Structure 1
Amino acid sequence: MLVLTRKPNESLMIGDNIEIQILGVEGDQVKLGIKAPKDIDIHRKEIYLSIQEENSQAAKAKLPNGLLEDLKLLQK
């Protein structure tokens, strides 16, 4: 893990197109501003993990008998 020290209004760059700026520090909270291309998803980690778990559960779900064949017929 890379650990950096930044002051309010200072930034760091990830690659050429993602900038993270420290907007402020209040007590034990840090307010961040993130500039990134619109095609990059940005989530809090707990939300990201929840999405990953839901995707994993959906991938394990079984389709009702015949549903996959019905969907294939609709594509034709």
Structure 2
Amino acid sequence: MLVIGRDVGEVITVGDDIEIKVMAVGNGLVRFGISAPREVPVHRSEVYKRIKAQEKQQRDM
């Protein structure tokens, strides 16, 4: 795992097409803005896990 420190307004680049920008930090929260091509799905991990569980359930039917 890569751990990177960033200040508000700074960006992390993933590959050629994905940027993650630190929008705000405060009260124990970090807010990110993510720019990615439409064909790249971007989800919070809890949502991603739910999507994968639903896909598995549909396959198992």
> Under TM normalisation by the shorter chain, which class is it?
over 0.9
Partner of 2:47: 47
Instruction: Tell me, in whole angstroms, the C-alpha distance in 2 between the residues paired with 1:59 and 1:37.
Output: 27
Instruction: Tell me, in whole angstroms, the C-alpha distance in 2 between the residues paired with 1:39 and 1:26.
Output: 31
Offset, 1:47? 0.4
Structure number with greater CO (CA < 8 Å, separation at least 6) is 2
Instruction: Tell me, in whole angstroms, the C-alpha distance in 1 between the residues paired with 2:2 and 2:58.
Output: 34
**What CA RMSD, in Å, does the superposition of the two structures yield over aligned residues?**
0.5
How many matched pairs? 61
Structure 1 runs of 4+ with >4 Å offset: none
Q: Which has the higher helix share?
A: 1
Offset, 1:27? 1.2
SS for the counterpart of 2:47 is helix
In structure 2, list runs of 5 or more residues that go unmatched. Answer: none
Instruction: Tell me, in whole angstroms, the C-alpha distance in 2 between the residues paired with 1:22 and 1:9.
Output: 5
**What is the aligned-residue identity percentage?**
36
- Between structure 1 and structure 2, the one with the greater Rg is 1
Q: Tell me the TM-score normalised to structure 1 length.
A: 0.78
